[in-house]
Amino acid sequence: MLLFHHIILNILRFREELMIAEGLGDFEDHHDKIVELAMMQYMKAEDFRMKIRAVSAQYTALLPRLHIKGEELDKAIEEFGNDILENDIDEEIQKPVSTTADKI
């Protein structure tokens, strides 16, 4: 039980450090609240929802293969999501206009 508690604390500490490193540490609101609000706003955009569904489908297909080592798996992991994100180079995801994000 102590090992499990230690692992959870390390995960939370790493997550906290990652959020701070990404610039979400200097706000009055907690970074989880900021990310949750951003997800709610982005989920209003149909093209974002389509990309989330596509990434989820790729993840679901890749997950059972993770225990198999090999070049094919390494390539699949390296290319994960690339076909979905390639379209964003020329055109950005249509971002909804936020009325509450400015208040954060």
Question: What are the tens digits of pLDDT across the range 6-21?
Answer: 777 777 788 888 888 8
Side chain identity, residue 94: Q
- Give the pLDDT of residue 11: 77
Smallest CA-to-CA distance from 99 within 22, 23, 37 is with 37
Whether 47 and 35 map to the same domain: the answer is: no
Whether 28 and 60 map to the same domain: the answer is: no
Whether 97 and 60 map to the same domain: the answer is: yes
Alpha-carbon dihedral sign for residues 86, 53, 46, 100: negative
- Give the pLDDT of residue 65: 80
Is 92 within 8 Å of 51 (Cβ atoms)? Answer: no
Q: How many domains does the chain have?
A: 2
- Domain range enclosing 17: 1-41
Q: How far is CA 28 from CA 40, 76, 100, 103, in A?
A: 19, 40, 14, 11
Residue 23 has pLDDT above 80, yes or no: yes
Whether 36 and 77 map to the same domain: the answer is: no
- Give the pLDDT of residue 87: 62
Whether 53 and 37 map to the same domain: the answer is: no
CA–CA dist 82, 25 (Å, integer): 29
- Give the pLDDT of residue 90: 47
Q: Rounded mean pLDDT of the chain?
A: 76
Whether 14 and 32 map to the same domain: the answer is: yes
